[in-house]
Amino acid sequence: MSPITTASGAIIRLARPDDVTHILRFINELADYEKLAHEVVATEEKLTETLFSGKPAAEVLIAERDGKPVGMALFFSNYSTFLAQPGIHLEDLYVQPDQRGSGVGKALITSLAQLAVERDCGRLEWNVLDWNEPARQFYRSLGASALEGWITKRVTGESLQAMARMLERAG
């Protein structure tokens, strides 16, 4: 993806390894906003390894204003068996507070939609916290709809380890 200059004056580009410091700062700022700072264990080293290795687990779009990173969209590929097409899952969309309402968030997510179309994806999806009404309104304004009837499930940490050991016990 070539850098895009938006009508709002932001430049949207794919992240580079030298963006890791900004990415981690955005992750921590987002976690503070979401009241989840206690869950962040990411480090610059781990982000470099997982985002910029030979087989990256995710990608990041960076929004810049006046040469300064002001937001990001961290995403990864997924797959729909029903569509038989890849998709994109937006893990985190973050814009610094002083840039909100300036078009940066819209530039990030519409750039991601454009990337999804370029990659022949069947869908772009993400989760939003139920209490985050400003984000929910923002997404509705872009035409996004909630998936009724779906509940996200997650297994992490020791529960994930325990689940993996269940296979050993079954044999």
Please give the positions annotated as active site. 139
Q: How far apart, in whole angstroms, are the C-alpha atoms of residue 68 and residue 92?
A: 19
Q: How far apart, in whole angstroms, are the C-alpha atoms of residue 170 and residue 150?
A: 29
Dihedral (Cα; 91, 107, 35, 22), 10-degree rounding: 80
Whether 125 and 26 have beta carbons less than 8 Å apart is answered as no
Name the strand (E) or helix (H) holding 49: helix 44-51
Q: Which of 97, 78, 77, 102 is nearest to 10 (CA)?
A: 102
151-155, long-range: CB < 8 A, 24+ apart: 152/127
Interhelix angle 44-51/20-33, rounded to 10 degrees, is: 110
